[in-house]
Structure 1
Amino acid sequence: MDVVVIETTPLGDRSYLVHDGAVGLVIDPQRDTDRIEAAARSAGVAITHVAETHIHNDYVSGGLVLAGKHAARYLVNTADAVAFEREPVRDGQVFRVGRLSVRVLATPGHTHTHLAYVVEETDGPDAGRRAVFSGGSLLYGSVGRTDLVSASDTAGLAREQYASVRRLAEVAGPDAELYPTHGFGSFCSTGPASRQHASTIAEQLASNHALTDPDEGHFVAGLLAAVSAYPSYYAHMRPLNEAGPGPASLAVPDNVDPGELRRRLEAGEWVVDLRNRVAFAASHLLGSASFEYGSGSSFTSYLGWVLPWQQPLTLVGSLSDVERAVRDLARIGIDSPDAAVGEDSGALAPGVPLVGYPRTDWEGFLRDRAAGDTLLDVRRADEFAASHVSGAVNVPVHEVLARLPELPEVRTWVHCNSGYRAGIAASLLHREGHDVVLIDARFRDAPGTVSG
């Protein structure tokens, strides 16, 4: 048995190809299935089965398209109300993928109909080796969040999560390798999730609070206390996945005509500049917004969270950034955005003024802040409650657009935890005519922090 990991770092998720050298099973495929197909070609295996652990809330699945393309069996919980043909599976069912035996295990908690798959090699030198594909159930260090279905279901699902992961650990056994879908920065995880890259059931039995806490009530209370905000685009993912998503369109579109780009900017349409926040603050097209694209950034999550859903969108940036951004956005159902590709923003829309705003650090804030200025903290409310600069006003970045009328039209110093979210918020405020200064610095270096 070989397990190939396909990382989707911007969303903090993983897909998997598990195979016996000839045929393979794909678990929780992302919408851009070409990466999985490349992994199968490299391994020299045929994709015969595709399985979902749950109907996903944080991305659009590629399962239906992948299974159809390869004439593979598409395994989805029989209890899930989907609008497409699939092979319904349920708790306790066992099927074969070549030399691999796959057991379906009901693990409600992250969702009501969540499944895990326990895969075992049945013969050969590795006979008896087990791997558990746990989706949003048992994660490295924690579990999947239980508040994505509804507020009224959250506590009940948390109790089910506690029972499910314990059953999963018992059925799989301590020697089983653990392969979760979430937990690598995904907003679908909660609690003290670990950043480790591999683990076993034995390791989790020794360290995961869901398995070490003997008091279900204490565990549930802690899980509910750790719940925080999650991206608003999640509301659209489950319906898309239940309807049956089509293939992703990953082609970079033809450049928007300069005159048309100017019209869009002047009309207030969403024109997103992908350059880093330093370059954007120094000079950008009037009316554009900054969503920095970069390795390891949360570009996808924050663009889908902050901007109004499915409004016309134009990307501005280098060819490589636009190409990757188109792929990332397709994963959350934002299809075929327009683009203006080029390194020189001014040349993309001649006649549109280039503008900018100051960028500084905490020393600059202390030196230059004047009486009456506002310090705006755009971190989440739970981050602000844990610690914040005395006198700061908290408006999380995903609430900035809706709460613009609340913000006084005075000089506003904008900060977050690292500078990334502050760069987004500063650009949105500046776009609306506010006098802003971007504090591009770590919160840990902030002066005069208080708790509560």
Structure 2
Amino acid sequence: MDVIVIDTPQLGDRSYLVHDGRAGLVIDAQRDIDRVEAAAQEAGVEVTHVAETHMHNDYLTGGLVYARKHGAVYLVNAADEVAFERTPIADGETVRVGELTVKAVATPGHTHSHLSYVVEHDGRQAVFSGGSVLYGSVGRTDLVAPGHTVGLTHDQYASARRLAEEAAADAALYPTHGFGSFCSSGPATGAGGSTLGEQFTANHVYTDADEEHFVTELIANLTAYPSYYVHMSPGNMAGPGEPDLDVPESLDPAELRARLETGEWVVDLRNRVAYSSEHLRGTVSFEYGNGNSFSTYLGWLFPYGKKLTLVGSRADVENAIRDLSRIGIDSPDAALGEDPRELAPDAAISSYPRVTWEGMAAQRQPGEAILDVRRADEHRASRIEGAVNIPLHELLNRLDEVPGGRLWVHCGSGYRSGVAASLLERAGHDVVQIDDAFDRAAEAGLPIAA
């Protein structure tokens, strides 16, 4: 048995191709299936089965498209009321994939109908746990509906123990979430690999012997999750189509200017340093390629159903189109290039200051507001005394609460403050972006409260 990991760090998830050298099973495929196709071709195997652990909340699946395109059996929980034909599978049922034996195990918690798969071959076992047992934690339990969270958290606790009964301690563990995904909860480690047995001593779902304590602690530590999640499960139930990943023709300058003047969503993909120094007025800064924040935060803020235009290099636009397709933002338009004056010569150009904590300490005038756009839980844990907290994901709905005058905008690293500064400038505010790590604020002399 060989397991090929297909990593999607932009969303903090993994898909898997497990095979016996001839026949293969794909588990939790991302929507851009060409990566899975390439992995299967390189391994020289035929994918005969595709399986879902659950109808995902953080991305659109490519499982249906892959199964249809390649004539594979598509395994989806029989309890899921999907709008397409699939091969239903239920708790305890097994299928053969070449020489592999694949057993479905009901592991509710992340969703009500969540399945894990225990795969066996030549005495070896692998557990594909989806959003059940992760490395160090479990999948979050608050994504179905508020009234279901307590029950699902109890389910997670029980499901972890069910997996421990169904598979050996030395079984390799392959979760879908837990590598930066907001679908994980608690202290997920993001480790590169683990076994089920290692989790018995490293994962709080196993080390906490008090179920009620585990449930209370996990729920208390759940934080905000991206608003685009509301679109994912319904989209997966309906059956996502194959995305168009082609880069469109570049908009002409007059059309780009018209979109800016009418307030459409025009997203500048350049790094935040270049953006702050010079950009087309009315654009919004979502830096591409610096970490894995782009699709998460754009998806969190973008009003689904509106037209999106991407501005940047061909490479960045191409990559952004792929990333956004995974969360159901399809076929954006583009203006290709990195010089704002060439892209729209007659459009207004703007800029705003970008400083470190030392720069703010030296330049900020008395009475000027500090705006913290981190999540509320981050702000509660540690904050600059007197800072106003409006989380980035709430900013557009709370613009009437933003203080007047010059604003000094910060986050935890500089990415979110760059997005926030661009949104605030677009709304008419006088902004200064603090492009610095929050952990450095104290050494720069800022008063910290906790």
1:86-101 alignment to 2 at 5 Å? 86-101=86-101
Aligned residue identity for 1:365 = M
Q: Higher mean Cα deviation, 345-354 or 356-365?
A: 345-354
Aligned residue identity for 1:417 = G
Alignment partner of 2:82: what SS? coil
CA deviations over 1:240-298 (Å, ceiling 9, x no partner): 11011110110000111110000000111010000011110000001100000015321
Match of 1:58 in 2: 58
CA deviations over 1:126-180 (Å, ceiling 9, x no partner): x111100000000000000000000000010000000001111221110100000
1:123-134 alignment to 2 at 5 Å? 127-134=122-129
Pairwise CA distance, 1:185: 0.2
Structure 1: segments with no counterpart, 5+ residues: 122-126
Aligned residue identity for 2:376 = A
Q: Does structure 1 residue 444 correspond to structure 2 residue 439?
A: yes
Match of 2:376 in 1: 381
Q: Does structure 1 residue 174 correspond to structure 2 residue 173?
A: no
Match of 1:269 in 2: 264
Aligned-residue CA RMSD in angstroms?
0.7
Alpha-carbon distance in 2 for matches of 1:307, 1:375: 25
Say if 2:126 and 2:174, in contact at 8 Å, map to a contact too: yes
Match of 1:124 in 2: none
Alignment partner of 1:11: what SS? coil
Say if 1:22 and 1:98, in contact at 8 Å, map to a contact too: yes
Pairwise CA distance, 1:409: 2.2
CA deviations over 1:383-437 (Å, ceiling 9, x no partner): 1111111000000001111111111221000000000000000000011111100
Match of 1:43 in 2: 43
Alpha-carbon distance in 1 for matches of 2:427, 2:338: 25
Aligned residue identity for 1:19 = H
Match of 1:350 in 2: 345
Match of 2:103 in 1: 103
Aligned residue identity for 1:48 = T
Q: Does structure 1 residue 29 correspond to structure 2 residue 24?
A: no
Pairwise CA distance, 1:339: 0.2
Identical positions, percent: 64
Match of 2:11 in 1: 11
Alpha-carbon distance in 2 for matches of 1:377, 1:168: 42
- Where in structure 1 do 4 or more consecutive aligned residues deviate above 3 Å? none
Alpha-carbon distance in 1 for matches of 2:220, 2:123: 39
Q: Does structure 1 residue 423 correspond to structure 2 residue 418?
A: yes
Alpha-carbon distance in 2 for matches of 1:305, 1:139: 24
Say if 1:316 and 1:345, in contact at 8 Å, map to a contact too: no
TM-score normalised by L of structure 2: 0.98
The one of 386, 390, 393 aligned to 2:385: 390
Say if 1:120 and 1:128, in contact at 8 Å, map to a contact too: yes
Match of 2:324 in 1: 329
Alpha-carbon distance in 2 for matches of 1:186, 1:220: 20
Paired residues, number? 446
Aligned residue identity for 1:242 = M
